[in-house]
Each structure stands twice: as C-alpha cells, then as structure tokens.
Amino acid sequence: MIIDKLNNYKIILASRSPRRKQLLQELGLKFEVVTREYSENYPEDLGGEEIARYVAYEKAASFKNEILYNEIVIAADTIVWCNNRVLGKPVNRDDAARILKEISGNTHEVITGVSLLSQSKHFTFSDSTKVTFDSLSDEDIYYYIDIYRPYDKAGAYGIQEWIGIVACSHIDGSYFNVVGLPVQKLYKELQRFIL
C-alpha cells in the first residue's frame, strides 16, 4: 500500500499550521514538524497560483543543503486571491474587517502551493478552489474576528470555523485546499514523487 511505502521515508512538514498537521495525520502519514522563519515575499510581477507556488518552493528550498537520504520535505503556502490581488493575513482587527468586507458577497480563490523536496528531486504544484461568501453584516464580521481571532489565516478566515458555516454558500474545488492543504492532490503527487 502507498501509505506503507511513504512511511518508509522520513517526512518533514515544514509548516506551523495546526490545520496542515491535522490533515497530514488524517492522511495516515508519519511525519515530523520542523519550523523556521520564512520570507513570504515574492516578485511583484507574479499573480495567483504563481505566488503560492513561488513561496512554497522557497520554503522547501531552505532545506536543500541539509536534507538527508530518504527524507521528503513538504512545504506549503496558501493565499486568498480576490479582485486580482492577494488578501494576506490580517495585521490587526481593522485589517481583518477590511479583508472580510472585501470577500463578503463575493467569490474569491483560495490557492495553495505545495513543494516536495528530496535529495534528488524538487517538485512544486498548486491547487485552486473558488469560494463564494454571502453578504456579511458588520456585526457578523466583528463577532467572528473577536471570537476566532483569525490573524494567522490568509484572507482573515478559516472555512472550518463559524464564518464558513454561516457565510460560505458555494465551493468549487477541494474543501481541504481551503482548510490549508489539498490532501487528495498531495497524495497523488507523493505517489509520483517516490517512483
């Protein structure tokens, strides 16, 4: 079975995200979390999927000189792309409200770039999901921000939290990608990666 083959490798998840950790656990993989400071800067001429892939690649590449035989690094970056620009992680309450007002009553794209690195290979891919939110009142927005404090989340929200339950009216693509890791696509790409 492919999970048994994958578990013959030492898999390193290069992410602080508790959501990514949980999704990898539910996939059945044995792995170790190794975190470090990353720059999430990217060239200004990139857009959408290019940004997510670029940042994920750079995160994985930071392990290039220390990766050992039989190790695989998984690095990821999720962005929210709305009105042809990135809606990043909010810096404070007002910024979170501004971001949520922009996606309120609108469709946006959640894009996750994933980069796989071993001693002999480096492969990066991305997945994209379109998410439509109903209109949110200011009361709903501030309730969500004050209770859930979404300051570590691209687009200032977690789809699995209260706001996703009350506002998300349509998803076109992988739900798990919106949570933070396109595990179905990752599973397929890992199978190819170890061949």
Which residues belong to the active site?
77
Cβ atoms of 12 and 45 within 8 Å: the answer is no
**How is residue 190 written in tokens?**
């890992």
**Sequence-distant (≥ 6) Cβ neighbours of residue 80 within 8 angstroms:** 86, 87, 88, 99, 103, 108, 109, 110, 111, 154, 155
Q: What is the C-alpha to C-alpha distance for residues 109 and 90, in angstroms, rounded to an integer?
A: 17
Q: Which residues on adjacent β-strands are paired with residue 111?
A: 79, 128
Q: Which residue intervals of 62-180 are DSSP H helices?
A: 93-103, 138-148, 162-167, 175-179
Cβ atoms of 145 and 89 within 8 Å: the answer is no
